[in-house]
């Protein structure tokens, strides 16, 4: 099934002269792990809002073209309906938890859906387990670190049982070790959901690429509201490098792209040592 289908999508925020999104054509199939990246202000967060239906329902503006999420037309489907198939975790960990215990926050969504209490209980247990934060069940969000808050926010989305998970700059307020742990957790989560027979689609909107690269099946680069590149991760990064699109290409690849042709490297190194070995190897092979 197709998770996301956008056709000639344009959006302009009310009161702004500039188009935030221009002619976006995009299809994302179920089960993909997609990174949407691009310079700040390129429109990538706006795109995430469209996928959740927050645009056009909560943000006034001009929306043209078509946007479907699991065959639901976002223009006339209420956000609360979309929310049962599609969940989003935002950037700021502080503003996504509203109650005084993680457990209550995880229960918040299902409560709104008016599910029976025992079903809510099952969902809460499962969501906490999947994110690995059972031990934080009774903690107050006020006392959690940013990384823990983000994990709680993920759990509170999982209890809605979405099959498309969107992350809008989930690590931008976290330090390196919490970021790494969060990213690992996200993809572990996808694996265990898939093993249980689901087909989870992950869309991450981020500047950071290094932590994500090994998990991705596809990268989409947006610049000034348009999709400028879309495809297999390494190819997209190399093309961005050639065209000088300012995205955070990991340092290793920065060097790899510069030397690969002249040194005849065939595949990118994963560690610095490998890079040096490859360079040395290419040298010794030549000599």
Site residues for other proteins, 230-249, by CB under 8 A, read 246-249
- Least Å distance between CB 8 and other proteins? 25
The answer to whether residue 270 forms part of the interface with other proteins (CB under 8 A) is no
SS3 270: coil
The CA distance from 46 to 68, in Å, is: 15
Q: Is the distance from CB of 210 to CB of 250 less than 8 angstroms?
A: yes
114 in contact with other proteins (CB under 8 A)? yes
Q: Which of 33, 90, 193, 236 binds other proteins (CB under 8 A)?
A: 90
Question: Which of 8, 214, 258, 267 forms a contact with other proteins (CB under 8 A)?
Answer: 258
Total residue length of the chain? 287
14, 61 in Cβ contact below 8 A?
yes
Among 88, 154, 193, 227, binds other proteins (CB under 8 A): 88
DSSP state of 256: H
Residue nearer to other proteins on the CB measure, 197 or 285 = 285
Q: Which residues ranging from 175 to 214 are in contact with other proteins (CB under 8 A)? A: 175-178, 207
Task: Kindly report the backbone phi and psi dihedral angles of residue 105, in degrees, each rounded to the nearest multiple of 5, phi listed first.
Answer: -70, -40
Closer Cβ to other proteins, 21 or 155, answer by number: 155
**Do residues 31 and 201 touch, judged by C-beta distance below 8 A?**
yes
Q: CB 36 → other proteins: shortest distance, Å?
A: 13
* Interior/surface letters 248-265, b for 16+ CB within 10 angstroms, e for the rest: ebbebbebbbeebeeeeb
- Which 128-167 positions form the footprint of other proteins (CB under 8 A)? 140-142, 145-147, 153, 156-157, 160
Point out which residues pair with 10 in neighbouring strands. 64
Question: Contacting other proteins (CB under 8 A), which of 1, 60, 100, 184?
Answer: 100
The nearer residue to other proteins, 122 or 218, going by C-beta atoms, is: 122
- Examine residue 54 and tell whether it contacts other proteins (CB under 8 A): yes
């Amino acid at each position: 099934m197709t998770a996301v289908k956008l056709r000639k999508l344009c959006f302009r925020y009310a009161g702004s002269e500039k188009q935030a999104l221009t002619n976006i054509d995009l299809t994302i199939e179920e089960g993909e792990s997609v990174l949407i990246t691009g310079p700040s202000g390129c429109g990538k967060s706006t795109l995430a809002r469209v996928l959740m239906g927050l645009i056009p329902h909560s943000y006034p503006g001009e929306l043209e073209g078509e946007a479907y999420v699991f065959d639901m037309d976002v223009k006339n489907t209420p956000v609360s309906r979309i929310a049962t198939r599609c969940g989003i975790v935002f950037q700021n960990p502080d503003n996504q938890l509203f109650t005084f215990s993680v457990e209550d926050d995880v229960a918040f969504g299902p409560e709104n859906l008016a599910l029976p209490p025992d079903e809510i209980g099952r969902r809460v247990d499962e969501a906490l387990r999947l994110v690995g934060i059972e031990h934080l069940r009774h903690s107050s969000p006020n006392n959690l670190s940013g990384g823990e808050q983000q994990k709680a926010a993920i759990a509170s989305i999982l209890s809605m049982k979405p099959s498309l998970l969107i992350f809008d700059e989930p690590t931008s307020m976290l330090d390196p070790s919490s970021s790494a742990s969060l990213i690992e957790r996200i993809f572990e989560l996808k694996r265990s959901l898939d093993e249980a027979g689901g087909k989870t689609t992950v869309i991450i909107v981020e500047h950071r690429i290094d932590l994500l690269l090994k998990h991705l099946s596809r990268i989409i680069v947006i610049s000034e509201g348009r999709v400028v590149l879309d495809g297999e991760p390494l190819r997209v990064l190399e093309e961005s490098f050639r065209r000088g699109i300012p995205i955070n290409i990991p340092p290793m690849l920065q060097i790899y792209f510069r030397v690969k042709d002249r040194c005849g490297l065939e595949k990118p190194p994963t560690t610095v040592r490998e890079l040096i070995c490859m360079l040395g190897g290419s040298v010794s092979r030549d000599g």
